[in-house]
Chain A
Amino acid sequence: MKILPILLKREFWEHRKTFFYLPLIILVLSVIFLIAAVFTLQIAGEGIIISGSIQINEGGPEQRTETNEYSNMPINALFGDQLTQFAALEPKQREAVLNTAYLLMATPLVSVLWVVVFMYFLTCLYDDRKDRSILFWKSMPVSDAMTVISKLLTGLLLVPGIYLVVMMILQLILLLTSLMAAVGSSIDIWATLIAPAQIVTRWIQMTAFFLFVAIWCLPIFAWVLFVSSWARSVPLAWVIGIPFVLVIIEWLALRGELLREFIAQHAFPGGFFSRLSGGIGELYQQLLSLEVLLSLVLSALLLYGAIYFRGKADEL
């Protein structure tokens, strides 16, 4: 366990581009987008983009529609002329608008993260066999189990952790930008912009969410890692091909869709949320379900297989 930090560092060095520079570029682009929005709305005065879409009606069943209109352009609501209109909203509505705005800032990073982690697991036990560097890695006193565990932890915790920090920075920038834009206006900054953003609660929730997703998606990622460990060519074809054939067989033989549903549910974090009707407290119950416990057993078997094949692995 003492060598785990250096093994994680080694993974980071190899994948610096997608683990670090990619989220950094997305951060910069998002900030540019934010500044452009502020500039259009704040300096140019008229909210060119959406000036027509904001109408505040008091009370009644139409409130829901208004929130939705905001959620199309939630960030615009915080700047320029619209800020005063935003400040006049009901507290619940303000929270909803801000929630959408802060989530929106994180969306590009979350989408990219999934692809980055998937590609990482797909190649991490395959590429070094292909370029022969496995002979160097295996000439070091690092066990095969330790190698596979370090790769699992990299994709499951290290990379999401980096992206999470970038998301937090981005949300902090949104908060600060909205505060700066509000300077000089007569609105109550604390009640309008800071308190309803719930930034600390939000970060705690995001961290918890990432940890839950790591467990939820584990069987899929363990499968990808397993294939990466033994495939002699095109690991992606095996990763997709084998489950595809099994799903077809299940359908033809049993008219069943269990496997297809399992994959659809666990492959994407969205599947996790589609099951939650309540709040974060329900997460625990979902995680203690028999299905999740069985999927953890499956993951353990796949990881054991990945370690076994890593032990046999030679240059390709």
Chain B
Amino acid sequence: MSVVVQAQGVSKHYGGFAALKDINFTIRKGSIVGLIGPNGAGKTTTLKALLGLTGFEGQLTVMGQDPRKGRHHIMENVCFVADVGILPRWLSVGEALDYVEGVHPRFNRSKAEAMLAETQIRNHRQKVKQLSKGMVTQLHLALVMAIDVELLVLDEPTLGLDILYRKAFYDRLLNDYFDHETSIIISTHQVEEIESLLSHLLFIDQGSIVLDSAMDELGNAFTEVLVEPDQVAAAEAQQPIHVRDLLGRKSMIFEGVNPASLARLGTLKIPSVADLFVAKLQKKAGLERGRS
């Protein structure tokens, strides 16, 4: 599969603060990558760096180009949706359509209008400031989904929306937009909502990538065991990365331990992304506590 984004040793400093510390990752064509981390972990900085919206150190190529040099070339093949607040308030729906049609060579206006017709946005003379948060997202999404690009970048796209919109947003993304020719990268801290649509996971915490794995390889690296009460001591000897109490029993997550050797401890399953997220981040916090 061809590489869409390649990051090698990318760092970003704001004064003395390191927002990104030497991160590496690769995004391949046709993948849906979840960039997951707590608030302030460096998700937005990573996405801005690959869009050419902020400077950085290190090597980063987006479809073979350095985003620092040719942002406007890259944007012909990349679309970006951030959380609701970035459409200018004075812009009307019709003007937004006219503008994108005027500047973007890959914009299909009738497709955008067809998508808008399915939303509550009826009047094209309405301005963004007159629309609700959900409607603004619908508008932005209709604009973006009508552009035929190779990479779609979504930065907390559903922040501030209620659950109905969030559900509809992801359904639409998967069913109407994704066609295995495009790649999508979604940043969020609400893991559960996007777990089912991802093909690849990137966990980021305090400016570092703490997990980089394909979804279908998670089972090889991680195993969750619902440990039988009499096996707890034996299980702890295998050094779980995370332990939590579950209905009077202990649930443990192991990394890099052969599942065959865990089978006698209890019931095995592949951990959920949310549990894995908690496990990886707590493990990191624990290591740092140990170090200091």
Contact = CB atoms under 8 A, between A and B. Distances in A.
A131 B89 CA distance: 9
Contacts of B90: 13-14
Given A3-B102, A139-B79, A141-B73, A314 B48 contact: yes
Contacts of A9: 98-99, 102
Given A132-B85, A136-B86, A141 B53 contact: no
A13 B71 CA distance: 25
Contact of B103 (A6, A14, A312): A6
A139 B75 contact: yes
Interface of A: 3, 5-7, 9-10, 13-14, 128, 131-133, 135-136, 138-144, 146, 311-312, 314
Interface of B: 48, 51-55, 71-73, 75-76, 78-80, 82, 85-92, 95, 98-100, 102-105, 140
A133 B88 contact: yes
Given A14-B90, A142-B72, A314 B54 contact: yes
Contact of B53 (A10, A135, A142): A135
Contact of B55 (A13, A136, A312): A312
11 contacts: A6-B99, A9-B102, A13-B95, A139-B75, A139-B78, A139-B79, A140-B99, A140-B104, A141-B103, A142-B72, A143-B71
Nearest to B51: A139
Contacts of B52: 138
Contacts of B85: 131-132
A5 B102 contact: yes
Interface residues of B, dominant DSSP: mixed
A14 B105 CA distance: 23
Q: Is the interface of A mostly helix, strand, loop or mixed?
A: helix
B15 to A, nearest CB: 14
A146 B73 CA distance: 13
A6 B99 CA distance: 6
Given A6-B102, A128-B88, A139-B51, 7 more contacts: A5-B102, A9-B99, A131-B85, A133-B88, A141-B75, A144-B72, A314-B48
A205 B261 CA distance: 93
A140 B53 contact: no
A6 B97 CA distance: 11
B86 A140 contact: no
Q: Among A13, A133, A136, A146, which residue has the most Cβ atoms of chain B within 10 A?
A: A136
Contacts of B53: 135, 138, 314
A133 B87 contact: yes
A141 B88 contact: no
A146 B103 CA distance: 11
A10 B72 contact: no
4 closest Cβ pairs, A-B complex:
A6-B102, A133-B88, A139-B80, A141-B75
A2 to B, nearest CB: 9
Nearest to A143: B72
Contact of A133 (B54, B80, B86, B102): B86
Given A133-B86, A314-B54, A141 B91 contact: no
A3 B103 contact: yes
A142 B103 contact: yes
A116 to B, nearest CB: 16
A184 B86 CA distance: 63
Given A135-B53, A135-B82, A136-B87, A6 B72 contact: no
A140 B87 contact: no
Nearest to B100: A140
Nearest to A128: B88
Nearest to A138: B53
B72 to A, nearest CB: 4
Contacts of A136: 86-88, 140
B86 A132 contact: yes
A142 B100 CA distance: 11
Most buried by B among A131, A139, A314: A139
B82 A141 contact: no
Contacts of B98: 6, 9
A140 B75 contact: yes
A311 B52 CA distance: 9
Nearest to A17: B90
Nearest to B79: A139
Nearest to A145: B72
A170 B79 CA distance: 47
A163 B71 CA distance: 35
A140 B89 contact: no
A156 to B, nearest CB: 21
B86 A135 contact: yes
A135 B80 contact: yes
A21 to B, nearest CB: 14
A256 B188 CA distance: 59
A35 B53 CA distance: 55
B43 to A, nearest CB: 14
